Amino acid sequence: MQKKFIILLAAGHMFSDINQGALPALLPFLIATRHFSYATAASLVFMSNLVSSVTQPIFGHVADRCRVAWFVPAGILAAGVGVVLAANVPTYWMMLAAVGLSGLGIAAFHPEATLLVNRLAGPMKSTAMGMFAVGGNLGFALGPVLTTTFVLWFGFHGALLLVVPGALAAVLFLVQMPRLQGHLSSRAAFDGVNAPRARDAWWPFAYLTATVVLRSIVFFGLNTFLALYWISELHQSKARGNTALSILLLSGAVGTLVGGRLADKLGNETVLPWTFFASPVLLLALIAVRQAGVAMALLVPLGLVLFAPFGVMVVMAQGFLPNHPGAASGVTLGLAASVGGVVTPLFGRIADRYGLHTSLTVLTWVACAAFLLALATVRSSKAWKPQATEATPYPVKA
């Protein structure tokens, strides 16, 4: 595994996803200064997510055909520039265009970056993808902190500072690109990429995509309602509610790394179903207890198992579609992983009508369905009979 380049790509992932965390953090300031309604402000986030999720498979398809490594620095820059423009342009329609640009940058970055991680990982693909995924987790966490700090200190012009670290990362990547292409040109870095490939396994990929969709629903539901559950159902303070969410996300960052290491040692098809089995069990325990301390302790293993299969699923998707790994990454990281954000308002309606406890109970049933789909993914994967086809060498120059 070319660890130095994996770390570089993970840092790029962090700087790309800082912008996904930064945009929601801008909304309270926009509402206060531009007098936007909640729906108007939320539409900015929706536009960014819509553009990113819909176009990511397209960029993945382009990456499969062209493999242009400059998508990585260009995507980081576009993602940052879009958010900076959104904070400073004068009209709402210009803001929509700016966040659309940010979404395009995010969409361009991810498929090509995951392909590079796959090629540089050697036999440690799940470990490397876990390291890459942690970069994104850190970016999501840092985005609101940096945005709030910069805007409070310097006003909306302070958002310009958000593009600086991403620009430096893009320049560093461009400087390292000749050495990166040299590694990709060697047979060792390719890990047999020029050997005959198996045919694409569309049914296992379909099962896996459905699993990613349900896992996305569970994640977005918890991300949205966990702090509120702590406040309304466990009668804790707002600070304790935010602490609970932070514990879940921090545990998830560790789980992403642990899941990748375990998958390389035990196999992807072992780690995937067991982590999905543990998720509904721990969710059920979480909503059953009424002691806040016990519930807080349960968040640590819940975060571990909820995030553990993230990198594993990307590696499996690329393995199921060896002739379209970029498109596979775009679907799993983009389209399928974004569905949860679209479905979350439904769980808000359930919470409004029946209470947050009922809403999280329904999430538990969704997690159970995800476990069944994970089992179906493994079963269909084992039943799939590989049939070799002639592979096309990886083009390192566009």
What does the pLDDT look like over 75-93, one tens digit per residue? Answer: 999 999 998 898 888 899 9
Q: What is the pLDDT of residue 391?
A: 42
Pick the more confident residue, 106 or 195: 106
pLDDT at 192 over 60: no
386: left (phi over 0), alpha (psi -120 to 50) or beta: beta
Quick one: pLDDT band at residue 370, thresholds 50, 70, 90? very high
318 pLDDT above the threshold of 70:
yes
With beta carbons less than 8 A apart as the criterion, state whether 5 and 113 touch: no
The pLDDT of residue 277: 95
pTM flag (> 0.85) = no
3-state secondary structure of 198: strand
Taken in order of first residue, the domains within the chain and their CATH numbers are 3-190 (1.20.1250.20), 197-388 (1.20.1250.20)
By CB atoms closer than 10 A (0-12, 13-18, 19+), residue 90 is exposed
The lowest-confidence range among 87-101, 171-185, 225-239, 345-359 is 171-185
Highest mean pLDDT among 123-132, 213-222, 276-285: 276-285
Whether the predicted pLDDT of 203 surpasses 70: yes
Instruction: Using CA atoms of 102, 107, 109, 114 in order, give the dihedral in degrees to the nearest 10.
Output: 150
Give the separation between CA 112 and CA 119, rounded to whole angstroms.
11
Q: How confident is the model at residue 385 (pLDDT cuts 50, 70, 90)?
A: low
CA distances from 151 to 33, 36, 95, 162 (A): 12, 17, 17, 10
Higher-scoring residue by pLDDT: 238, 321? 321
- What's the longest Cα–Cα distance across the chain? 61
Question: Over 50: is that where the pLDDT of 127 sits?
Answer: yes
What is the reported pLDDT for 185?
62
Which segment of 95-99, 153-157, 303-307 scores lowest on mean pLDDT?
A: 153-157
User: Residue 338: is its pLDDT beyond 80?
Assistant: no
Task: Kindly report which listed range (4-13, 64-73, 253-262) carries the lowest average pLDDT score.
Answer: 64-73
Please give the average per-residue pLDDT across 218-225, as a whole number: 82
Dihedral sign, Cα of residue 67, residue 69, residue 70, residue 71: positive
Mean pLDDT (the chain, rounded): 82
What average pLDDT does range 298-306 have in this prediction?
Answer: 93
Structure tokens given for 356 = 């947050």
Average pLDDT of the residues in 200-214: 90
For residue 240, what are the CA distances in angstroms to 228, 231, 262? 10, 8, 32
Ordered alpha helix ranges (H), 67-186: 71-88, 92-120, 125-154, 163-185
Nearest to 135 by CA among 25, 232, 256: 256
Residue 350, both tokens: 């359930």
Residue 189 pLDDT > 60: no
Upper half-sphere CA count for residue 307 (Cβ side, 13 Å): 29
Contact yes or no for 8/131 (Cβ under 8 A): no
